[in-house]
Structure 1
Amino acid sequence: MNAKLGQPDERGQDPSPPTRRVVAVVELLADRADSHLTLAEICRELDISRSTGHAILTTLCSCDWVLRDPLSGKYSLGAGLPTTTPRAAPLSRMLREPLRQLCSAIGMAACISELSDGRLAV
Structure 2
Amino acid sequence: MIGLLSRHVGEHLSLARIVRETDLSRATAHAVLTQLTADHWTVRDADGNYGLGLGLLTVARRAEAAFPLRRLALAPIREFSARQGIPVFLAEREDGAIAITEVAGTPTLPWIRPGRRLPLAPPVVREFLAWAPEPDRETWLGHADPAHRDRLIAVLEAVRTRGYSVERLADDSAPMLEALAALRNSPVTDPLRHRLGAMITDLITIDYLPDELGPTNAVVTVAAPVFLGPTVTAAVVACPDTLLSAAELTTLGTATREVADSVTAALRHDSGTPPPALPRD
TM-score range, shorter chain: 0.5 to 0.7
* Letter of the structure 2 residue corresponding to residue 50 of structure 1: R
Q: Hey, what does 1:44 align to over in structure 2? A: 20
Q: Does 1:86 align with 2:61?
A: yes
55 and 35 in structure 1: CA distance in 2 versus 1, 3 angstrom threshold: same
Question: 5+ residue gaps in structure 1?
Answer: 1-24, 98-122
Q: Hey, what does 1:28 align to over in structure 2? A: 4
Cα shift at 1:34? 3.1
Point out the structure with max Rg over C-alpha: 2
Say which SS state the counterpart of residue 51 (structure 2) adopts. strand
Distance 1:62 1:77 in 2: 12
Distance 2:64 2:10 in 1: 25
Question: 5+ residue gaps in structure 2?
Answer: 72-266, 273-281
Say which SS state the counterpart of residue 61 (structure 2) adopts. helix
* Letter of the structure 2 residue corresponding to residue 83 of structure 1: T
96 and 83 in structure 1: CA distance in 2 versus 1, 3 angstrom threshold: farther
* Letter of the structure 2 residue corresponding to residue 81 of structure 1: L
Distance 1:56 1:29 in 2: 13
Distance 2:62 2:24 in 1: 31
Q: Does 1:58 align with 2:34?
A: yes
Q: Does 1:72 align with 2:60?
A: no
Distance 2:10 2:40 in 1: 18
Distance 1:64 1:49 in 2: 22
What is the aligned residue count?
Answer: 73
Which runs of 4 or more aligned residues in structure 1 lie more than 2 Å from their structure 2 counterparts after TM superposition?
90-97
Say which SS state the counterpart of residue 76 (structure 1) adopts. strand
Distance 2:64 2:27 in 1: 34
1:9-57 superposed Cα distances (whole Å, 9 cap, x missing partner): xxxxxxxxxxxxxxxx000000012321011110011111100000110
Distance 1:78 1:62 in 2: 10
Structure 1-normalised TM-score? 0.53
Q: Hey, what does 1:7 align to over in structure 2? A: none
Say which SS state the counterpart of residue 32 (structure 1) adopts. coil
1:71-94 superposed Cα distances (whole Å, 9 cap, x missing partner): 211100000001112212234997
- Taking every aligned residue pair, what percent have the same amino acid on both sides? 42
Say which SS state the counterpart of residue 17 (structure 2) adopts. helix
45 and 63 in structure 1: CA distance in 2 versus 1, 3 angstrom threshold: same
Q: Hey, what does 1:107 align to over in structure 2? A: none
Distance 2:3 2:48 in 1: 19
Distance 1:96 1:87 in 2: 16
Structure 2-normalised TM-score? 0.24
Cα shift at 1:96? 6.6
